[in-house]
Amino acid sequence: MSGVPNAGPNGSLIELTDVHKVYRRDAIEIPVRAGIHLQVKAGEFLALMGPSGSGKSTLLNLIGGIDRPTQGEIRVAGESITSLKPNKLAAWRARHVGFIFQLYNLIPVLTAFQNVELPVLLTRLSGAERKQRVMLALGLVGLEGRARHYPRQLSGGEEQRVAIARAIVADPTLLVADEPTGDLDAKNAEEILVLLQRLNAEMGKTILMVTHDPHAAQRANRTLHLDKGVLTS
C-alpha cells in the first residue's frame, strides 16, 4: 500500500477556500460553517478539536465528500470535488477516502474478512488479488488470525481495527476518522492511536481525525480547534 500521493502545486493535499455550509430547516437557515480556509499537507496527521456542536464532523464530511458546501471550494490532490455529480463523487470517495467511525459500522452477518473486502468488491481486482489485499490490510492491523471471526466474536478494539483495515484496503489518498477512540476503553484506545500513528509515519497516510480527547490529539502532527466557525491552531 502506497504512501504520499501527488499534492497540489503548493504542497497541500487538501485545500478549502472560503467554505460555507448552511442547513435549511423549513424557512430557517442554520449556518454551520462560515468562510473556512484550510490547507493540509500530504502525509500530515491533523486533529480537529472543539466543543459539541461546533461542526467538526460536518467539516470532516465536507472534506470526505459525504456532504457538499453551500459555498466555496474543496480540492483534494489537485481535484475540485465541489461540483462533481453524485455518481462521480461516489467514485471519487471510493478511490480516495477511507472512513473510520466511532461505532465501527461493521456488518454483523459478515466475517472480518468479508467486512474488509467490501470496498474492493466492485474493483477490477481478481478474487486472488482481493484476498491478498484483504489479508495484507488485516495483517497491518494485527488481525490476520481473526479473518473468519464475526464482529460479535471480537472485542471493541478488534472491531475498530477491522474497521481501519476496511478503510485502508483500497489504499486511499486520505483517512478520515470521526472519534475513532470514543467508544473504547483506555487500553484499546491507546492501541488504535498507536496504529494510526504507524499508518501515518510508516505508510505516509494523510489522516484527519475529529476527537474530544486531548490525549488523542497529542498523537497528531498538528491540532486545530474549531469553535463558532473559526479554526485556530
Please indicate, yes or no, if residue 35 is contained in any of the structural domains. no
Below-50 pLDDT ranges, the chain: none
Please indicate, yes or no, if residue 204 is contained in any of the structural domains. yes
> What is the DSSP annotation of 157-212?
HHHHHHHHHHHHTT--SEEEEESTTTTS-HHHHHHHHHHHHHHHHHH--EEEEE-S
The predicted structure's pLDDT at residue 50: 86
The predicted structure's pLDDT at residue 167: 96
The predicted structure's pLDDT at residue 44: 97
Do you know the residue count of the chain? 233
The predicted structure's pLDDT at residue 33: 57
What CATH number did the domain enclosing 57 receive? 3.40.50.300
Please indicate, yes or no, if residue 7 is contained in any of the structural domains. no
The predicted structure's pLDDT at residue 121: 92
The predicted structure's pLDDT at residue 200: 96
The domain in which residue 142 lies consists of 44-66+85-232
Gap between the Cα atoms of 134 and 110, Å rounded: 14
Question: Is 73 strand, coil or helix?
Answer: strand
Q: Do residues 175 and 199 lie in contact, with contact meaning Cβ atoms separated by under 8 Å?
A: yes
The predicted structure's pLDDT at residue 188: 93
- Please report the sign of the dihedral spanned by the C-alpha atoms of residue 221, residue 226, residue 230, residue 232: negative
Q: Which of 152, 147, 198, 158 has the alpha carbon at shortest distance from 175?
A: 198
pLDDT tens profile 132-141: 999 999 999 9
On the 0-12 / 13-18 / 19+ scale of CB atoms within 10 A, 25 is exposed
Instruction: Say what the pTM is.
Output: 0.88
